[in-house]
Structure 1
């Protein structure tokens, strides 16, 4: 799936899939990650996500996910979501 997503019109899909797999997130939880939440996750080791039914949970961040988050953060400014274009926020 990651390979197919990498070849799509939106290569960020592959990053979303990898992040969801590594952290055990639903796809919609991964898509909604804000840069501030990613920065906090790098400091604390836990990513706070709001999931199904409004349930808020802290997910431990694995080393591979740290690399993925850092890479995604380089592409967006503070105050933006990692995977949603600014004009759609």
Structure 2
């Protein structure tokens, strides 16, 4: 078995870091993980059909819904002052 030098190992690690599959896995780990939420199946069906109707991804639709909800919530808090 050949003896590998530390320099060779570092070059190998650099090559791995540059590959797209490694980068993809590494970037997934950086994302914030949320707990899985459960909801009624009929709501999921409506949500999916609305996403298809608007030709949006489900992520985009959820971001729009949450943004609208929290904007409305903030606006109602300001009106109470």
If the length of structure 2 is used for normalisation, what is the TM-score? 0.30
Higher strand share: 1
Larger Rg: 2
Q: Which has the higher contact order (CA 8 A, sep 6+)?
A: 1
If the length of structure 1 is used for normalisation, what is the TM-score? 0.28
